[in-house]
Amino acid sequence: GENVEQHPSTLSVQEGDSAVIKCTYSDSASNYFPWYKQELGKGPQLIIDIRSNVGEKKDQRIAVTLNKTAKHFSLHITETQPEDSAVYFCAASRKTGRRALTFGSGTRLQVQP
Amino acid sequence: DGGITQSPKYLFRKEGQNVTLSCEQNLNHDAMYWYRQDPGQGLRLIYYSQIVNDFQKGDIAEGYSVSREKKESFPLTVTSAQKNPTAFYLCASNQEGTGYGYTFGSGTRLTVV
């Protein structure tokens, strides 16, 4: 089955700096890669996603890049703010067979004011 | 407003007891999922259901059971066979059983005492 690895497990940045979180996946049939943000005591919320026919997608301060050849994708947050502090998860799913999301292990991002 | 409701928010169980976690959605979604979240391990898939009266095991189904008698409801029973049940449990739903458009509940924290 699919295996998604995520790094780093914790990340501390100064307000205004950029943050980058990286994930790799193992199943070449995976074609959908969302990113979720989870605040303390709450369920994860989708912040951005990318499909395998696209190399990059941007939404204001956040962007995701995908390298299908290397099987890795990354989340980029620019001009970080204290409210960006949370746990971020990457995930992957495939188009056929078992299509449920497989998640990475999470990154705890701390933005220091 | 449509959404997905998990109850209770906190649950305490004595060793050797079965306990059932509730998950209800009014989004008219066909598919529903149960994930377990442990620190540093991300979200791991327990069971999922793509249609009423049908469900499949995920990656860590041992010690758990589910039912899907109604489209709106997908309860999870943690049995006494689950050796380490203390965790945060998340329910999710989406329309078509792929990775797209997950809506998560706010979770149930189960503690064995």
Residues in chain B, overall count: 113
pLDDT the model gives residue A95: 84
How confident is the model over B64-87, as pLDDT tens digits? 999 999 999 999 999 999 989 999
For residues B94-106, give the mean pLDDT: 88
**In angstroms, what is the C-alpha Rg of chain B?**
13
**CA B35/CA A38 separation, integer angstroms:** 14
Residues of B in contact with A46 (CB under 8 A): 101-102
The pLDDT of residue A86 is: 97
**Least reliable range by pLDDT among A10-14, A43-47, B11-15, B94-98:** B94-98
Question: What's the gap in Å between the CA of A76 and the closest CA on chain B?
Answer: 20
- Report the pLDDT value the prediction gives residue B7, as an integer from 0 to 100: 94
Show the CA angle centred on residue B42, arms to residues A14 and A56, nearest 5°.
60
Residue B113 is predicted with a pLDDT of 87
Tell me which residues of chain A have a pLDDT lower than 70.
none
Averaged pLDDT, B90-94 = 96
How close A113 gets to chain B, by Cα (Å)? Answer: 25
Q: A14 phi and psi, to 5 degrees?
A: -85, 145
What's residue A16's pLDDT?
A: 98
Cβ pair B106:A102 closer than 8 A: no
Taking residues B50-61, what's their average pLDDT?
A: 96
Residue from the list B42, B90, B98 with its beta carbon closest to the beta carbon of A104: B42
User: What does the pLDDT read at residue B49?
Assistant: 96
* Residue of chain A with shortest Cα separation from B89: A43
Q: How far apart are CA B37 and CA B21, in angstroms?
A: 14
Is the peptide bond preceding residue A8 cis, with omega within 30 degrees of 0?
A: yes
**B40, B44, B107: residue with CB nearest A43:** B107
Report how many Cβ contacts below 8 Å link chain A to chain B.
Answer: 61
CA B30 to CA A6: how far, in whole Å? 30
As a whole-number percent, the residues of chain B with pLDDT over 70 amount to 99
Nearest to A37 by CA among A76, A87, A80: A87
